Amino acid sequence: MLHYSPYRTLSRVLCFACIVPTDAFVLKREANSSQPGIIHLPLEVSDIPKLQSNSTLPPDRDSRQAQADVYRWGLELKSYVMPVYVGTPPQKVLIEPDLGSKMLWMLTTEQEATSVLSSQFDLDRSSSKKYLGKKGDITYVGSSVTYQTYEEEISLSPSLLPSRVEIGMAKAIMDPSRQWGVLGLTMTGSGADMMDDLIQRGSIRSKLLSFNYASSGGFMTLGGVDVKKFSGPLQAVPIIPTSYDANVAFQTDDPNSFNMHKIRMDRLSITNADGAKTTIFDENSASMNRDYIVDSGTADCVFPSPVWRQIVKRLPPIDPLDRRVDCSAIRNTKGSLDLSFGSTTISIPLNKLYYDTYQGCYIAARRGRFRLGSTFMSHVYMAIDYTTHIVYLAPNADCGSEIIPISDSPGSGSDIASMSIESSLDTQGLANEQRGLLDFIDKLQYAQLDNVRLPQIVVVGDQSAGKSSVLEAISGTPFPRDAGACTRFATEIRLRRAKEATLKVSIIPDKSRPVNDQTMLLQYGGNITGNVPFEAMMRDATELIAPRNIPGRFAARDILVVEKSGPDMPLLTLVDLPGLVRIANRDQSEADIQTIDDLSDRYMKSSRTIILAVIGGNNDYVQAPILKKARQFDPKGSRTIGVLTKPDMTERIGLEDKFIDLVMNKDRENHFKLGWYVLLNPGPGEQWFSPEDRVRKEAEFFTRGRWSALPPQMWGIVALRQKLSTQLQRHIGKHVKSLRRQIQDALERCDTELRAMGNAKDTIEEMRFEMGELFTASNNLVTPAVNGNYKNPFGEKFFARQSSPKGTPAHKLRARAREESERFSRLFRQHGRHLNFADTTASASTSADGQNLSPTLAGASKKDFAQMEVEPLLRQIRGNELPLDSNPRAPYILFQDYSRKWPSLAQEYKDNLGVICNEFLGEVIDHVWPVRMRDPLRHHFLEVKMKDLMEEAEKELTRLTDDMELEVQPYDPEYEDRLRKWRAEATENGGTYTEAEEVLEKMLIYYDLTARIFTRNVITQVVERHLLLGMLRLFNPIEILRMPDSTIESISAENKETRERRLKLKAQKKNIEEARSMCAGLAMRSDLRSYEDETDAESDDDDQVIKRQPSSRAPYAPQPQQRKSQESRRSAHEERPRPSVSADARPRPAMPQESYQAVNGTMGQQQQQQQQPGQSWDQQQYYGNLQDQHPPAHAPPPPPPRPQKLGASDAEQYYDTRGDARIRDKIASTMRKGIPARA
């Protein structure tokens, strides 16, 4: 059985869901032969005779009414017919193109007509006929035709010269509904002979036949493809060799004969009404015959019993005798029949799998022997290459018409002829779509956006597997092969199609390199001319990136970019990795081997990488490390393409059959869904001078011996090139959706940083005006925050509308100030007294709110305190008062000692409010002000203003605490009332009290009354008057008018680094927007959307693989500090440290490239170089990204030795033995231009 895998697909023009009006029963279409090399023939739909084979038309139905009925029905049972012009003079006769027939025959006037639609040829009217004397019968299912053969002139169009061919003239036909003849289009039928004649006369350029069937008609095109009639890429499916016997229902396989259009279906599934898929068979269904004949001569799709039973389950009840079905039920049936060939799926809706007649609806499918009729063809665009025996399939569409002529390349061989389709499409601009995909990836590659992993193909294999020969064959450029010239880093090979041949190189430096080294590597490269051999340039670049005899040379993560353009280049990008080494040698140490493994693992691990695994036929492949790695990183084999080189050496080691089984995917462990390809390499000392030499050598080898069992699509560089090109397109298409999201994220990050930086201002007036706007915006946030209504200004989202689980946020200034004031009041009541007493009964010292002001402390009572403390005090402060009188200052003296904690509590309260205000201002600044102005604003304005406010508040608090020394009567009747009440309680029931106890009670009453006044005064006069009301005056726009020019400039003017950073961000934003625009266009392509369903699940650790981050030995910008939460700021009273009033009390995340100096307002000391003129877009884009890096925050550990400023002399160890000093000079003056030589 012939092994089949999807070999290649073809590009197509973008096709959207456009609608073309349905034509009438008889289509008014003319053959289009205006383009040279194309014959475009309209097909008409004729249904009535087919209906009459099942039922008889009512007598009152004339032909006109019948036509209207057919148009109304929209039948799926159709015969597609076309006119031909036969005889001399030409007679217009209808015939049916039939892929299932071999002979050309037509009805004659000798056959009785049974319908007004009859189309017959009058033999008597033709003067060019010649009777050949042969008779025969043609047997169809349910009918037969008896004919006589004539040689006659026939033309497919009135504008074409007729061809003289053998035609069967029907004499008797057993099917009275048959009203037209048949044009047999098997691979060796009459139609194929006519195409040969048309090619010889120059009417067409290739033996290519395309079909487009639709409900209203269709077209048949010779020599071209209508790229507006299908959606997605054309999938190539090889025709299985088959013998032909018209009297046998199913033809048998014949490896030496191509007749019927038998193709192998990879998968047949049914999409159920709920969207779930049921697979009937796939590639692994060994017991199921998957070979089907495409036959336009029948309307039905014919399936074997197991398949038919599965289909019937999804359909309404079917009459087993005549396949009749309820019309309403079938029209409402959901789901589809999905036929997959390679990567292309043709879906036939189940509600289209029927046809109408006067007597009801009938299913257009049946049980039988493996055929796909016009019901299938009405949902597919099909092109048949009679030269290469390949059928191309794609889902049907109708977006207008654009016919592309296809040319065979004379003397190119069958595989080259098959390539002519793609070449012809490309010449019409269809390759621009694929080129757009690759250009899109190129932009992302140079932009090196973080977190964006690129779809790519990497070439990996053993060092002796022939990887360089594969790359040379693909690109047409010789890569170094000799010992010591192995790849030491990733090389990206870009092949692009252009009118003129060019070759240029450049280097994408690793972002973890020192900035100076990156700048040096960016300057390398340019166009390579004939004066500089490519191999010499490769060696020179290798020594520049990873010099020999320096440790870690295989650890380089720089990328050498080789871009080759030309008219014959495939659209392809490959990444060549260093060859895998099994055993250490003088060129690679054990450490080098491990580094190479790590590099290949980093690429292969990503689910967005297609692995091109190269193995050589000179060793048993079970020892190949690349196959082990492929199984490790791609266990399903869904993204690996195998390439076998040196097949001629497999026989020498006795493993030829084993390798053939490998490439035929019979080795279960190394089964790759993308297939295997085999390339022939030049032998030792052998040289192939041109691509034609390679094609000829490969054709000679693979058409003889055991390797001839391989299909042509599995061997040779032509097949591999096309596979890689189309597979890369598919692979990129699979990931366009996710790339679009990641690009959008990168754009948002860039926008955020640009908005944070603000717009540049050049004059003092512009700066003052900008700051005035910022002051107004800031004041619009401060006012509602101080007032406590928290109403956002129009268009702002500063105040959150939902609660925060972490506590009151810093934005809610009034709420936080109130919380702090309540806390101060509570702490003052609890901890404001120097001493508290342990009295258990309520007394006059209980406050008005009922709270006991004397909680337990040290266990002392008021009586004890009066006896031990107050009585000695009274004796010690006696003066000239009369006996039995105490010093009237005694309560005041006791009060001053009893309230000694008041100043510290008030001071802490004031400082805490200062911190709250600072935190609020930090939020306002971060929300309103550009990044470049935040630190200067703090330094030159806010710190000064906040210091003034805090100093005024401190002065007010000092005045209040000083007033505590004043001995002022309370002037409050509550004092006298509480004192009388105490005296009455003390003398109740004959009790007494001492003078000391009375003085103590007077002091406690005085303390309560004064504490209320002090608490209110601190809150009102210190916090509200000086801090909160001061916040309202802080951003008064009048302040801008008072501010000197020097302060305005210090705050608003930006330094050189900030300006350069803005320019780089703008350039980066532009490039990201271009990439986003390209990606959006790609996302609209329906052919790429169809690939999204094929995306494999991406592992979470893929980002760890492809992220371009500085290595651990170069820790650049430090991580931003995290802002402390409110909980960490609000600790217990006893443990709280005294908060600082400065702006540093509020940690702020560090901003990139922003380290303002207090003296001159400039940032950092890192010197950045100007962009060099004459750089390419790629270099300019990367140079912009280069400037984003930070100098190390701390001295990093010493990295492995890196190449420093190297000169042309470093290449001497390679060139001295080759003796061409002119090459060294040429490289130094071209590729190394601008790179200083090493001393």
Report the b/e string of 517-550 with b at 16+ CB within 10 A: bbbbbbbbbbebeeebebbbbbbbbbbbbbbeee
Strand partners, 676: 642
- DSSP, collapsed to helix, strand or coil, labels residue 131 as strand
Specify the DSSP element, H or E, that contains 236: strand 234-238
Mean pLDDT of the chain: 73
Q: Please report the pLDDT score of residue 238 as a whole number.
A: 87
**Could you tell me the pTM of the whole model?**
0.44
What gap in Å lies between CA 1013 and CA 1019, rounded to an integer?
A: 10
Phi/psi of residue 148, each to 5°?
Answer: -125, 145
> pLDDT confidence of 134, banded at 50, 70, 90?
confident
DSSP letters spanning 544-612: HHS-TTSTTGGG---EEEEEEEETT--SEEEEE-PPB-SS--SS--HHHHHHHHHHHHHHHTSTTEEEE
Q: How far is CA 275 from CA 224, 278, 295, 309, 729, in A?
A: 37, 10, 30, 20, 28
pLDDT over 80 (residue 980):
yes
- Could you tell me the residue ranges of all domains in the chain? 9-426, 769-801+810-1042
Q: Please report the pLDDT score of residue 1027 as a whole number.
A: 92
What gap in Å lies between CA 604 and CA 835, rounded to an integer?
A: 76
Higher pLDDT, 482 or 539: 539
Q: Please report the pLDDT score of residue 487 as a whole number.
A: 62
Higher pLDDT, 448 or 1142: 448
Residue 484 Ramachandran class (φ > 0 left, ψ -120 to 50 alpha, else beta): left
Higher pLDDT, 979 or 1105: 979
Structure tokens at 1017: 């005064």
> pLDDT confidence of 555, banded at 50, 70, 90?
low
> pLDDT confidence of 255, banded at 50, 70, 90?
low
Of the ranges 73-87, 235-249, 300-314, which is most confident?
300-314
pLDDT over 70 (residue 447):
no
pLDDT over 90 (residue 912):
yes
Lowest pLDDT segment from 450-454, 515-519, 734-738: 450-454
- Calculate mean pLDDT across residues 692-717: 84
pLDDT over 50 (residue 582):
yes
Higher pLDDT, 1087 or 621: 621
Q: Count Cβ atoms within 10 A of the Cβ of residue 929 and give its class: 0-12 exposed, 13-18 middle, 19 or more buried.
A: buried
Is there a contact between 603 and 634 (Cβ–Cβ < 8 Å)? no
Nearest-5° Cα angle at 1172, 1166 to 1174:
165
> pLDDT confidence of 435, banded at 50, 70, 90?
low
What gap in Å lies between CA 23 and CA 112, rounded to an integer?
A: 30
Q: Please report the pLDDT score of residue 1026 as a whole number.
A: 92
Spatial CB neighbours of 1051, under 8 Å, sequence gap ≥ 6: 767, 771, 933, 936, 937, 940, 941
Q: Please report the pLDDT score of residue 446 as a whole number.
A: 55
What gap in Å lies between CA 431 and CA 439, rounded to an integer?
A: 12
Q: Please report the pLDDT score of residue 786 as a whole number.
A: 92
Is there a contact between 645 and 679 (Cβ–Cβ < 8 Å)? yes
Q: Please report the pLDDT score of residue 439 as a whole number.
A: 66
> pLDDT confidence of 608, banded at 50, 70, 90?
confident
Structure tokens at 1059: 């300006």
- Calculate mean pLDDT across residues 313-333: 84
Q: Of 124, 91, 99, which Cα lies nearest the Cα of 109?
A: 124
- Calculate mean pLDDT across residues 912-940: 89
> What are the percentages of helix, strand and coil residues in the chain, rounded to 5?
40, 20, 45
Spatial CB neighbours of 1093, under 8 Å, sequence gap ≥ 6: none
> pLDDT confidence of 658, banded at 50, 70, 90?
very high
Higher pLDDT, 602 or 549: 602
Lowest pLDDT segment from 653-662, 730-739, 1032-1041: 730-739
Q: Max alpha carbon distance in the chain (Å)?
A: 167
pLDDT digits (tens, 9 = 90+) for 856-894: 334 567 888 888 888 888 888 887 777 777 788 888 888
Q: Please report the pLDDT score of residue 425 as a whole number.
A: 42
- Calculate mean pLDDT across residues 148-165: 86
pLDDT over 90 (residue 597):
no
> pLDDT confidence of 48, banded at 50, 70, 90?
very low
Q: What is the 3-state secondary structure (H, E, C) of 625-676?
A: HHHHHHHHHCCCCCCEEEEEECHHHCCCCCCHHHHHHHHCCCCHHHCCCCCE
pLDDT digits (tens, 9 = 90+) for 1035-1076: 988 888 888 888 888 887 776 677 667 777 777 788 788 777
Q: CA 1125 from chain center: how many Å?
A: 37
Is there a contact between 1071 and 447 (Cβ–Cβ < 8 Å)? yes
Spatial CB neighbours of 418, under 8 Å, sequence gap ≥ 6: 236, 385, 387, 388, 390, 712, 713
- Strands (DSSP E) contained in 440-577 are 456-461, 490-497, 502-508, 525-527, 559-566, 572-576
pLDDT over 50 (residue 351):
yes
Q: What is the 3-state secondary structure (H, E, C) of 341-364?
A: ECCEEEEEEHHHCEEEECCEEEEC
> pLDDT confidence of 1158, banded at 50, 70, 90?
very low
What gap in Å lies between CA 948 and CA 971, rounded to an integer?
A: 36
Is there a contact between 837 and 997 (Cβ–Cβ < 8 Å)? no
Can you name the CATH fold of 9-426? Cathepsin D, subunit A; domain 1 (2.40.70)
What gap in Å lies between CA 905 and CA 834, rounded to an integer?
A: 12
Structure tokens at 558: 């720089």
What gap in Å lies between CA 1167 and CA 466, rounded to an integer?
A: 46
pLDDT digits (tens, 9 = 90+) for 624-638: 889 999 999 999 998
Structure tokens at 842: 């309520």
Higher pLDDT, 591 or 219: 219
Q: Please report the pLDDT score of residue 613 as a whole number.
A: 92
Higher pLDDT, 68 or 890: 890
- Calculate mean pLDDT across residues 1152-1179: 37
Of the ranges 245-259, 510-524, 683-697, 822-836, which is most confident?
822-836
Q: Please report the pLDDT score of residue 916 as a whole number.
A: 93
What gap in Å lies between CA 1123 and CA 927, rounded to an integer?
A: 15
Q: Please report the pLDDT score of residue 1017 as a whole number.
A: 93
What gap in Å lies between CA 1145 and CA 510, rounded to an integer?
A: 39
Higher pLDDT, 246 or 820: 820
pLDDT over 50 (residue 764):
yes
Is there a contact between 1033 and 972 (Cβ–Cβ < 8 Å)? no
What gap in Å lies between CA 640 and CA 609, rounded to an integer?
A: 9
What gap in Å lies between CA 541 and CA 537, rounded to an integer?
A: 6
Is there a contact between 1038 and 775 (Cβ–Cβ < 8 Å)? no
Higher pLDDT, 737 or 340: 340
Q: Please report the pLDDT score of residue 710 as a whole number.
A: 86
Is there a contact between 1105 and 605 (Cβ–Cβ < 8 Å)? yes
Nearest-5° Cα angle at 306, 304 to 312:
95
> pLDDT confidence of 182, banded at 50, 70, 90?
confident
Q: Please report the pLDDT score of residue 157 as a whole number.
A: 84
Lowest pLDDT segment from 2-6, 529-533, 646-650: 2-6
Of the ranges 232-241, 1016-1025, 1100-1109, which is most confident?
1016-1025
Cα dihedral 1002→1004→1010→1016 (10° resolution): -160
Q: How far is CA 889 from CA 896, 897, 967, 1072, in A?
A: 11, 13, 8, 81
Is there a contact between 723 and 643 (Cβ–Cβ < 8 Å)? no
> pLDDT confidence of 142, banded at 50, 70, 90?
low
Neighbour count for residue 393 (Cβ, 10 Å): 25
> pLDDT confidence of 430, banded at 50, 70, 90?
very low
- DSSP, collapsed to helix, strand or coil, labels residue 220 as strand
pLDDT over 90 (residue 642):
yes
- Calculate mean pLDDT across residues 1184-1190: 41
- Calculate mean pLDDT across residues 1175-1183: 42
Q: Count Cβ atoms within 10 A of the Cβ of residue 986 and give its class: 0-12 exposed, 13-18 middle, 19 or more buried.
A: middle
pLDDT over 60 (residue 553):
no
Q: Please report the pLDDT score of residue 437 as a whole number.
A: 60
Specify the DSSP element, H or E, that contains 371: strand 371-372
Is there a contact between 356 and 73 (Cβ–Cβ < 8 Å)? yes
pLDDT over 50 (residue 105):
yes
Higher pLDDT, 78 or 476: 476
Q: Please report the pLDDT score of residue 47 as a whole number.
A: 55
Higher pLDDT, 234 or 1168: 234
Residue whose structure tokens are 């090389």: 491
pLDDT digits (tens, 9 = 90+) for 485-515: 456 678 888 887 777 888 888 888 876 777 6
Higher pLDDT, 78 or 384: 384
User: Could you say which DSSP state residue 1097 is in?
Assistant: P
Nearest-5° Cα angle at 8, 7 to 9:
145
Residue whose structure tokens are 């038309």: 57
- DSSP, collapsed to helix, strand or coil, labels residue 1222 as helix
- Calculate mean pLDDT across residues 260-288: 85
pLDDT over 90 (residue 577):
no
Spatial CB neighbours of 390, under 8 Å, sequence gap ≥ 6: 236, 237, 238, 239, 384, 418
Percent of the chain with pLDDT over 70: 69
Q: Which amino acid is at 492?
A: E
- Calculate mean pLDDT across residues 760-765: 73
pLDDT over 50 (residue 6):
no
- Calculate mean pLDDT across residues 920-939: 88
Higher pLDDT, 77 or 1029: 1029
